[in-house]
Structure formats: structure tokens, C-alpha cells
Amino acid sequence: MQIGVPKEIKNHEYRVGLTPASVRELVAHGHTVFVEHDAGLGIGCDDAQYLAAGATVLGTAAEVFERAAMIVKVKEPQPVECRRLRAGQLLFTYLHLAPDPEQTRLLVESGVTAIAYETVTGARGGLPLLAPMSEVAGRMAIQAGAHALEKAHGGRGVLLGGVPGVAPAQVSVIGGGVVGAGAIRMAVGMGAHVTVLDRDIDRLRALDIEYGPRLTTLFATRDAIEAQVLESDLVVGAVLVPGAAAPKLVTRAQLAQMRPGAVLVDVSIDQGGCFETSHPTTHAEPTYVVDGIVHYCVANMPGAVPRTSTFALNNATLPYTLALADKGFPQALFDDAGLMAGLNVHAGRITCRAVAEALDYECVEPGEWLRG
């Protein structure tokens, strides 16, 4: 198969779809890999390393899209990239379609087959291709939140871990999944007073066993969320409904009751955000203030640490990329129900129910349609 890796063009996005090591594996399986010139510079990998791995380096993204049967990316295709996609081509990347009607429309119109990392499921459940970036984003949420709490950045001027004689910051994490666990680990490690809210009692029990008295666990009722948010210096939104838009758990009315200069970090922003006042920001301008509350809503947080993120992501995606290249589409999907769950768009139709419901499309059952 001919596989294309374009350079990412989203604002301050330095990750790349394949590392040289991944390229070498694909070439060893008999595939051809086209990599756009300088696509890997953001992770410290130059064209020479890709050439040594067996890739063919092309001068422009247009050439990569034109010559490849499968495009492997990191972030969702931007409008100019969507218009380069074509019927019969395979796209393997993060999509996050539910809050993004324009991208969805363009992918539907292109006729491309699009498999989303974030809805591929594992043999034991979970989201194996989302997990690596969730781990990075969760840990970064505390790092970014601590920075935003500094007075020079609009925050309350609170040190997360405090000092002897001065209380540490109050940190609330809404959601105890992979993102939440990463945030908790960092916040506890920095000495903050940390509370996690979740509706999964088993998850809360596991976190309680892991952290003991260093972590407060609460069942996430509306009352509990409101009470914690109003008393927090830093709130991390770590809520995920696979494929669907995130629920709004903190309202604008509640901002007026929060501590002035408190910080909201919305890691759910890729799925629309879990705070009513959230809207996507970039690494160039990561924060904004609403009613005295600092919002950090960068939609590609792991892009700030691209080398760590790219290698972690490739560790998870490479087996699936190899399966798609070796077996072709749709055989790879028929052989792996978890990979089939990643199919979001095919030949002008939506095949992910959560996306279809969020954007008012008809949903076509992928397995039945592909067999037909």
C-alpha cells in the first residue's frame, strides 16, 4: 500500500503521523511511505532519518495526498486538507467530529473512508489510541493550570503546592479516566489538595486505594460539582463520552461565584468542552478570561510536547496502521471489531452513531453496509 504522511498544519502542531521507526516497519512489510519534506522536524527527525528508514520524501503536501492510498496524520484534517481527500482513499487520524460540523461535511463530500483514533476500542474495552494523548494531556493540564494561576497570566497568584505555613491550592478534577488520572498524579505530586469527581464508583474506589488520604473522591452529582468548583483554585475538565460531544457541567452563572482568578482547564475541548464558556484556543493564545475566570482550552495540548507525544502515539497506532496496510480496507475492519468501531465516515455516509446523533445525520451500520 502507498501510505502518505503530510506535515501537520494546525496552529502550533509539531507532531507527525509516523516516526522513522514506524516507517521502517511499514517498509519492511512491503509498503511504500511518502513523507512530506520537513514533516518530522517538530519531533527532531529530519528528512535524512526518514530516507534512511526507507521513506520517499516529497516536496509538498499536495503530492503526498495525490500519491497515497492511505493518509496517516495526528490532528483532524484542516479544510484545505479535506479538499485534497478523495473517494476510495483511507484517512487514519484523530477526527473529533461531533463538535465540528464543517469538517464532517467536508469529509462526507470527499467520499473518503475516515477512521478516527479516538473511537477505536480495545479488546478489553477502553480507547487504546486515545489513551496515550490523554495521559499526556492530563499531566499537561496541571502544568498549564499552574502556569495560568500565576498573577502575570491572570490567575489568583497561588502556588499549587503552597509552602510551609501557607495552604496549597485546591484542585478539582472532573472525570477519573485516563486524563483525570494523569492530572491527579501531577497535582498530588506537586502537593496540591486534590478532589476527583466521577460517576463510576469502581473508578473512585480504585483511585482511593491508589492515593489514600492524599485524594478526596466524590460522586459527581450536580451539587457536588458545583460545590467543588466554587471552592477551587484550579478545575480540570476531563470528561469523555466516546465520539459524542462533551456534556456541559459548569455553567456561566457559576463563574460569578468562583474565586476571582481561578483557572479552568478544559481537556474535553476536542469534543466541544465541558464548561459552558469554553471555546477552543491555540498554543499561540492559550487562555482567555470570562467573568474573572481564566480559561485554558487548547485543542491540541499534546502538540506542545511533540516528541513525547508522537512516540507515545506511534506505540499505540502502529499495529493498527500495519493491519490496515497489510490486509487492506475493509478486511482489517472485519477482522477487528475494535478497529471497526473507529470507522466514522465511509463513502459519503456517517458510520458512527454518536457523531450522527450530535450532528443530525443518518447513521449507517458500518459492518452491514461494507458487507453489502
Alpha-carbon gap, residue 222 to 34, rounded angstroms: 50
Q: Are strands 113-116 and 343-346 parallel, antiparallel or unpaired?
A: antiparallel
Q: Are strands 349-350 and 2-5 parallel, antiparallel or unpaired?
A: unpaired
> To which H or E segment does residue 370 belong?
helix 366-371
Secondary structure (3-state) at 272: coil
Q: Which residues of 308-344 are buried (b: 16+ CB within 10 A; e: fewer)?
A: bbbebbbebbbebbbbbbeeebbebbeebebbbbbbb
Residue 176 has a CB neighbour count (10 Å cut-off) of: 24
Known active-site residue 198: no
Alpha-carbon gap, residue 284 to 359, rounded angstroms: 29
Alpha-carbon gap, residue 12 to 19, rounded angstroms: 19
Strand order in the sheet with 287-290: 215-219, 193-198, 170-174, 234-237, 263-266, 293-296, 287-290
Q: Which among 31, 96, 193, 346 is annotated as catalytic?
A: 96
Known active-site residue 270: yes
Alpha-carbon gap, residue 300 to 260, rounded angstroms: 27
Alpha-carbon gap, residue 35 to 55, rounded angstroms: 7
Rounded to the nearest 5 degrees, what angle is found at the Cα of 227, between the Cα atoms of 170 and 163? 15
Q: What are phi and psi of 289, to 5 degrees?
A: -120, 130
Q: Which among 100, 198, 266, 270 is annotated as catalytic?
A: 270
> To which H or E segment does residue 34 belong?
strand 32-36
* Side-chain half-sphere CA neighbours of 356 within 13 A: 16
245, 274 Cβ separation under 8 angstroms: no
Residues that are catalytic? 96, 270
